[in-house]
Amino acid sequence: MPEITIDPTTRIEGHHGTTLQVEDGVVQEAKSEMKMFRGAEIITLGRPPTDAAQITGMVCGVCFLCHRLCSSKAAEDAAMNAGVFDGPPRNAVLLRDAAEGIFYLWNHAVHLFALVGPDYSDAVAGTGFDRLDPLEGDGYMGAIENQRKLMKALAEFGGRAPHPVGYVPGGLAVQPDASTIASVKSRVMEVSNWLGPTEAVPEVIENVQNGEFDPELGEGLHDIVSILVAAAEAGAADIGEGPNRYYSNGIFEDPDTGDLFLPRGVYRDGSVELMSKDEIVEGITEDTEYSWYTDDSGGDPRTAKPPEPDLDKEEAYSWGKAPRFDGESMEVGPIARLVIKEADPFDLREALGGGAAESNTLNRLIARAQEALLVRDQVVEWLDAIDPAEPFMADDWTDDFTGRGVGLFEPSRGALSHYMDVENGQIEQYQIITPTLWNLGPRDGEGQPSILEEALVGDEVDNVDNPLNVMRTIRSMDPCLACAVHVQGPDGEFEAEVEPVRPGMSEGGCDV
């Protein structure tokens, strides 16, 4: 059986390879290979809980905000379980919702226009949609300009972007005034106007199908719909078919009721199961059978040791672990969140993708576009609900406690979990499970493939030098390998101790 190796996988975030077994031009088996060592958790050990947000926020320059917020939530959960903290103030919850909502818009635009869009552009695939052409198309360049506006909006709250410093356990380290909030809102509205009104989707679909372009209905919306139309015409609904099992941690919390705009739960056996945080945490395990880690680096992430490499495992092929929920692989990301919310705006997945809950390459793209519009329509409401006269930071936050906590979050790519154990003000254990691990991890000890490994089976390979359908399937999951595998070193034996600087580490005070 011919073997094809794709390494590196291009136009994604990070270092990834795929080995395919192909017969008669069809993929029979796939291995998803994460190419770098994962070790950010180790750096947090022995440090105060507040430091973890800063350290893990540096894991990736794309997913910078979500790791910082998830780590903060893990620290807060540990402190609340220890009985020394009552939770972040209302303003902090609202601002985190708004900031992550803005981040969703930014990251979805990066994915749709820069990472996936070229696969359906005229330059790459001869689709006629030259506005999607990388570096030259008007739609591509317009998206870059509007991504810049969103990054500026994030910087106004966080002090900088990427890697903001304003978000900390306990709330927000700064006190945004009314003019700052108004400035952020203004930038969001500019991007919203470029995107276009949600209710215009049916008319824009008709425009695109007829080769028409009406900027009054949204330049961004026309280009996003062009991606979806091109993908549908390319048969993307028939490739990348997953097992129709989904999992979401839920996100965007109502500070008054605790309800989540995108709910927490799983979808399996044809039905949604909404779950509590405890039920989600209880169901998650990690398998290291085919990972270059020791056995006790896997199992229950609440008790497993931080990642410990084991390079002698003969059958291992990935630096990623294999997360499972109740022993099953689960797809995460926009499609998971919308299936669990039971939302299919304009019935697009039902009409174009073979069903609202069907896992395939087209439906992943549709769900991302749908979610961008859903979240866009909420961000301004969250900003308007903030009262700049009220506190953004809790007055009872402290690093001095002993407790265990879990932060559950939903970056744009899918479910993220941070696990933190604190002993007398110092981190004793830390684990991170990222969305890319759920979607692109290796097989588990039962031989069960990851979502990507299963989804690639059946994809046609018309050209071994350019397996476009395979690449479209991989990219549809928006991989972020920097989040999944964190540190790489040279060949050979070496030893290094990493000690990030922080205020008070030297005798003179601050080394920063």
Instruction: Tell me if 41 is assigned to a ligand binding site.
Output: yes
Measured N-to-C along each axis, helices 49-56 and 64-81 cross at an angle, to the nearest 10 degrees, of 160
Q: How far apart are CA 89 and CA 71, in angstroms?
A: 17
Instruction: Tell me if 66 is assigned to a ligand binding site.
Output: no
Amino acid symbol at 438: W
Q: Is 67 helix (H, G, I), strand (E, B) or coil?
A: helix
How wide is the angle at C-alpha 93 spanned by C-alphas 370 and 162, nearest 5°?
70
Query: Using omega within 30 degrees of 0 as the cis cutoff, is the peptide bond preceding 162 cis?
Result: yes
**Nearest C-alpha neighbor of 99 from the set 44, 172, 190, 197:** 172
Q: How far apart are CA 218 and CA 437, in angstroms?
A: 35
Q: How far apart are CA 501 and CA 326, in angstroms?
A: 40
- Size of the chain, expressed as the number of residues it contains: 512
Instruction: Tell me if 70 is assigned to a ligand binding site.
Output: no
- Supply φ then ψ for residue 172, to 5 degrees: -130, 135
Please identify which residue in the block is written with the tokens 């044809």: 270
Instruction: Tell me if 60 is assigned to a ligand binding site.
Output: yes
User: What count of Cα atoms within 13 Å lies in the side-chain half-sphere of residue 195?
Assistant: 28
DSSP letters of 123-189? Answer: HHH--S-GGGSTTT-HHHHHHHHHHHHHHHHHHHHHSSSSS-SSEETTEESS---HHHHHHHHHHHH
Q: How far apart are CA 502 and CA 358, in angstroms?
A: 47
Q: How far apart are CA 248 and CA 261, in angstroms?
A: 12
Q: Is 274 helix (H, G, I), strand (E, B) or coil?
A: strand
Instruction: Tell me if 483 is assigned to a ligand binding site.
Output: yes
Please identify which residue in the block is written with the tokens 């000690």: 499
Q: How far apart are CA 439 and CA 326, in angstroms?
A: 16
Instruction: Tell me if 486 is assigned to a ligand binding site.
Output: yes
Q: How far apart are CA 458 and CA 30, in angstroms?
A: 10
215 C-beta neighbours (distance < 10 Å), count = 11
Q: Which two tokens stand for residue 394?
A: 């809790």
How wide is the angle at C-alpha 466 spanned by C-alphas 463 and 472, nearest 5°?
110
Instruction: Tell me if 510 is assigned to a ligand binding site.
Output: no
- Supply φ then ψ for residue 77, to 5 degrees: -65, -40
Residues 6+ apart with CB under 8 A from 428: 45, 421, 422
Binding positions for Ni(2+): 60, 63, 480
Binding positions for Fe cation: 63, 483
Binding positions for Mg(2+): 41, 432, 486
Binding positions: 41, 60, 63, 432, 480, 483, 486
